[in-house]
């Protein structure tokens, strides 16, 4: 992406779907997923991947894990290092290639900023990157450690009630640890924090289970489900040629898969600890293939590991910045006003996603198609947090479009103030104590003045995050 001017091209999480992909589903989330659009397998679009393909001389494709608005993701076996990886292949159009290059720069900074800091593992790790030349153009391939489903999927399981507060504390503490590293050690603004960009960790044995499912399907001569393969249009070949080609491919794949499974068994016997490659600070709490359904963290207290993902909108402090960042419900006040932003914008987003994890609803409930979306967003902020000081309002380049000379919104007059504590008690039926403690944690993260807003380090010291120890 071109970044010669002070601001990069406008590219927010709202106008372009997040690049995070619907990855693995731990047992409690196993379900059929939607398919990528077949029509997007064209010049500038997706690369047609086939089960059994090999990339970069080492990554052997086993099955599809999911897809995003500009990429597909595949479970692969790394034939060099002998472990599973997730291969993300982006569409070939230049806009996606440029985004990938920017993300690669950011991920390399994260990998190398402080190798001794365990908090660097709170962000997904880029293991490799390379180019793929295919029928639809040149694509970028990004190799990551394999992760699980995103927290948005987990929230869906809660049926709009949110997660247990103990689980919310566990998740938010890890997010803040990741942000502390990004902000302090890397000077990086993530720019798009939301549940979709927080991924649950899984253990290597879960990846083995995914590969085993493919082996079982082939063993019984059953066609692979659509969710495991590319939704690419069929090649124009005679039915006989297709059958012969498929037979050869299946035969080769079965043989390769057996070698992989044999290698896994040998590794288990030689050194059981080798099988866990999540590199999480506490690998023992990552999701395993034998987790029982009743341990669904959408309903019961459960130790879990999450990682921050999707750094497509990330930028470095002191470098070129995007004009607009953050998906709408998580967008900070300064970004709405068109004012300068820094790492504190991520803290505002963290407050919003914390509220969503705890209640199942957005902190600021915004609808598509509104006549004055920014004003409506600001109106809800004012209702919850009070009037925005004129000095802060006037710091933004968009302020004259949103506020009049009396420091009132241009088009919205009727406001209905309600404190965060009252909102939690009246709308979500929280106890007085829970509401007070939760509000005390969130409000410093929602300070209008970015210089007074709590930092990730300060948030980590808050008493609310320590309540799990007393349970």
Task: Write the DSSP assignment of 223-268 as a string of letters.
Answer: PPPGGGS--PPPPS--HHHHHHHHHHHHHHHHHHHHHHHHHHHHHH
Structure tokens at 49: 């991947």
| Cα–Cα distance, 420 to 383 (Å, whole number) | 10
**Nearest residue to 170 via CA among 470, 437, 465:** 465
φ, ψ dihedrals at 143, nearest 5°: -105, 125
| Cα–Cα distance, 165 to 374 (Å, whole number) | 31
Catalytic residue among 53, 78, 129, 192: 192
**Nearest residue to 89 via CA among 250, 223, 232:** 232
| Cα–Cα distance, 304 to 345 (Å, whole number) | 26
| Cα–Cα distance, 189 to 455 (Å, whole number) | 12
Residue 262 appears among annotated catalytic residues: no
88 is in an annotated binding site: yes
Provide the Cα torsion 63, 216, 275, 28; round to 10°. Answer: 80
The half-sphere exposure of 72 on its side-chain side, counting CA atoms within 13 A, is 28
The catalytic residue positions are: 192
Binding positions for ATP are 88
């Amino acid at each position: 992406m071109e970044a010669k001017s002070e601001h990069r091209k406008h590219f927010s999480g709202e106008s372009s779907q997040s690049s995070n992909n619907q990855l693995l589903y731990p047992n409690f989330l196993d379900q059929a997923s939607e398919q990528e659009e077949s029509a997007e397998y064209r010049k500038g679009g997706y690369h047609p991947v086939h089960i059994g393909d090999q990339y970069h001389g080492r990554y052997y494709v086993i099955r599809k894990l999911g897809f995003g608005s500009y990429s597909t993701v595949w479970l692969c076996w790394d034939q060099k290092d002998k472990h599973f990886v997730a291969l993300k292949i982006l569409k070939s159009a230049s806009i996606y290639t440029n985004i990938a290059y920017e993300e690669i720069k950011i991920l390399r900074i994260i990998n190398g900023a402080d190798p001794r800091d365990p908090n660097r593992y709170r962000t997904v790790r880029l293991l490799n990157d390379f180019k793929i030349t295919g029928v639809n153009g040149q694509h970028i391939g990004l190799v990551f450690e394999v992760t699980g489903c995103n927290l948005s999927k987990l929230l869906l399981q809660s049926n709009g009630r949110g997660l247990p507060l103990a689980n919310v504390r566990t998740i938010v503490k890890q997010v803040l640890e990741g942000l502390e590293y990004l902000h302090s050690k890397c000077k990086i603004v993530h720019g798009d924090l939301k549940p979709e960009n927080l991924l649950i960790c899984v253990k290597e044995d879960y990846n083995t289970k995914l590969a085993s499912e493919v082996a079982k399907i082939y063993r019984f001569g059953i066609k692979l489900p659509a969710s495991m393969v590319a939704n690419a249009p069929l090649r124009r070949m005679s039915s006989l040629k297709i059958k012969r080609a498929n037979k050869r491919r299946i035969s080769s794949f079965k043989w390769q898969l057996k070698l992989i499974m044999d290698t896994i068994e040998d590794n288990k016997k030689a050194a059981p600890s080798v099988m866990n490659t999540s590199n999480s600070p506490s690998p023992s709490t990552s999701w395993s293939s034998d987790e029982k359904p009743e341990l669904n963290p959408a309903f019961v207290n459960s130790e879990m590991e999450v990682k921050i993902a999707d750094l497509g909108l990330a930028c470095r402090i002191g470098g070129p910045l995007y004009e607009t960042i953050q998906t709408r419900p998580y967008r900070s006040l300064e970004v709405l006003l068109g004012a300068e932003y820094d790492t504190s914008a991520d803290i505002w987003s963290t407050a919003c996603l914390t509220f969503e994890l705890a209640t199942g609803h957005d902190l600021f409930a915004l609808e598509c198609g509104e006549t004055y979306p920014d004003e409506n967003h600001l109106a809800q902020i004012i209702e919850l947090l009070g009037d925005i000081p004129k000095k802060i309002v006037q710091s933004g380049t968009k302020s004259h479009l949103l506020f009049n000379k009396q420091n009132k919104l241009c088009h919205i007059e009727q406001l209905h103030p309600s404190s965060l504590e009252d909102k939690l008690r009246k709308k979500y039926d929280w106890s007085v104590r829970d509401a007070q403690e939760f509000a005390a944690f969130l409000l410093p993260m929602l300070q209008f003045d970015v210089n007074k807003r709590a930092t990730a380090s300060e948030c980590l010291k808050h008493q609310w995050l320590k309540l799990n120890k007393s349970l």
